Amino acid sequence: MRTILVANIKGGSGKTTLATNIAGWVAGRRRSVALQDEDPQGSTTQWLARRPALFPKIGIFPVGTSKKEAREQNIDWRVIDSPAGIHGDTLRALIKQADLLLVPLSPSAFDMEATQLFLDTIMERKAVRAQKLAVGIVAMRVDARTRSAAELDEFLYGFDFPLLTHLRDTQVYVQCARDGLTVFDLPPSRGTQDWEQWKPILHWLSTNAS
Q: How many folded domains does the chain comprise?
A: 1
The answer to whether residue 167 sits within a structural domain is yes
What is d(CA 151, CA 169) in angstroms, rounded to the nearest whole number?
Answer: 16
Q: Which of 17, 10, 11 is nearest to 141 (CA)?
A: 17
The answer to whether residue 96 sits within a structural domain is yes
Q: What pLDDT does residue 129 have?
A: 66
The answer to whether residue 71 sits within a structural domain is yes
Domain interval for residue 126: 2-200
The answer to whether residue 173 sits within a structural domain is yes
The answer to whether residue 52 sits within a structural domain is yes
**Tens digit of each residue's pLDDT (9 = 90 or more) over 24-70:** 999 999 999 999 999 989 999 999 999 999 999 999 999 999 989 99
* 204 touches 164 (CB < 8 A): yes
CATH number at residue 168: 3.40.50.300
The answer to whether residue 59 sits within a structural domain is yes
The answer to whether residue 208 sits within a structural domain is no
Q: What is the pLDDT along the chain (210 residues), one digit of tens a residue?
A: 999 999 998 888 899 999 999 999 999 999 999 999 999 899 999 999 999 999 999 999 999 999 899 999 999 999 999 988 888 888 889 999 999 999 999 888 888 888 888 888 888 877 776 667 899 999 998 887 788 788 888 887 777 888 999 999 999 999 999 999 999 999 999 999 999 999 999 999 999 887
